[in-house]
Structure 1
Amino acid sequence: MMSKEEFERRFAENYKSAKLKDRGTKKWTAMMLPEHTIDLRKDEANYGKVDRPQLDQYDLDYIQDEVQRAITIKSQVTIKLWADGEFKKLRGTIEDVNLVKRYIEVEDSFNTLRYSFDDVVGIQLEG
């Protein structure tokens, strides 16, 4: 019969040698099919993204009224945009609204940018 100290010594030797031979996650990569890795990358890219909010008629009327007020008084606005599953806020003044081509032109402190009506999900007058 083996003593407790001898057992612990042999166990420690075997455990260390087994740990050195272990390849970690490398041994599992052979089981991943290319379709699995593609799906995992897509899921990781879409993590944290949100769907486009559905605006009702009240929301659209509110945005239209705020845009008209901002153009009339040349006020600073904060526009909430949705693009590729993420929200972005932009501060500036509204320079032009083109109803035919459906874009809004906003001038911030550096330059003038155009955004589609479909990307605008909220607007708020400043001051």
Structure 2
Amino acid sequence: MANFEEDWNALDLSKIRDRGSKKWVAMMLPEHVKMLRDYHEEIKKVPRPDLNEFDYEAIQEQIELAMKRNVDIKIKRWKDGEFLYHRGTIQWIDLTRRIIELEDPFQFFEVKLDEIVDVTILE
């Protein structure tokens, strides 16, 4: 028993070159690999934050103030399980289509009002 423990402690694990998960992929069907990839993408998704009445009022006040001052804002929006950030000045708000048109130094883009979860004025 003592020889086994001595041999085990003397074993240098840094010399073992294992292929990791690559060795198992060859035995898996392509459908299984796709399902695993989809699963990993799904668990990375973030749930939509629950906003209450006060949060919506704060967002509205920040947007109105940014329009009056014509300053840059940072908009945080939630779409398909992830947060996206946009920065620019508000050019137009279309309430019939429920979008805000922003301009950054490179382009114009539209942000849906329903996707906005936070607005910060950058001064």
Could you say whether these structures have the same fold, taking a TM-score greater than 0.5 normalized by the shorter chain as the test? yes
For 1:93-104, list aligned pairs within 5 A.
93-104=89-100
Residue 47 of structure 1: how far off its partner (Å):
3.1
Corresponding letter in the other structure for 2:38 = K
Aligned length: 101
Extract structure 1 runs of 4+ deviating beyond 3 A.
36-39
Corresponding letter in the other structure for 1:59 = D
State whether residues 25 and 33 of structure 2, in contact with CA within 8 Å, keep that contact through their aligned partners in structure 1.
no
Residue 54 of structure 1: how far off its partner (Å):
1.5
Corresponding letter in the other structure for 2:121 = L
Q: Distance in 2 between matches of 1:71 and 1:109?
A: 17
Corresponding letter in the other structure for 1:58 = F
Q: Secondary structure at the match of 1:25?
A: helix
Q: Is residue 90 of structure 1 aligned with residue 89 of structure 2?
A: no
Q: Distance in 1 between matches of 2:77 and 2:26?
A: 45
Which residue, 37, 56, 60 being the options, matches 1:64? 60
For structure 1, which runs of at least 5 residues remain unmatched after alignment? 1-23
2:24 aligns with 25
1:51 aligns with 47
Identity %: 32
Q: TM-score, normalised by structure 1?
A: 0.70
Q: Distance in 1 between matches of 2:89 and 2:48?
A: 24
Residue 67 of structure 1: how far off its partner (Å):
0.6
Q: Distance in 2 between matches of 1:104 and 1:38?
A: 37
2:103 aligns with 107
Q: Which has the larger radius of gyration?
A: 1
Residue 26 of structure 1: how far off its partner (Å):
6.2
Q: Secondary structure at the match of 2:106?
A: coil
Q: TM-score, normalised by structure 2?
A: 0.72
Q: Secondary structure at the match of 1:63?
A: helix
Corresponding letter in the other structure for 1:74 = N
Q: Distance in 2 between matches of 1:82 and 1:101?
A: 18
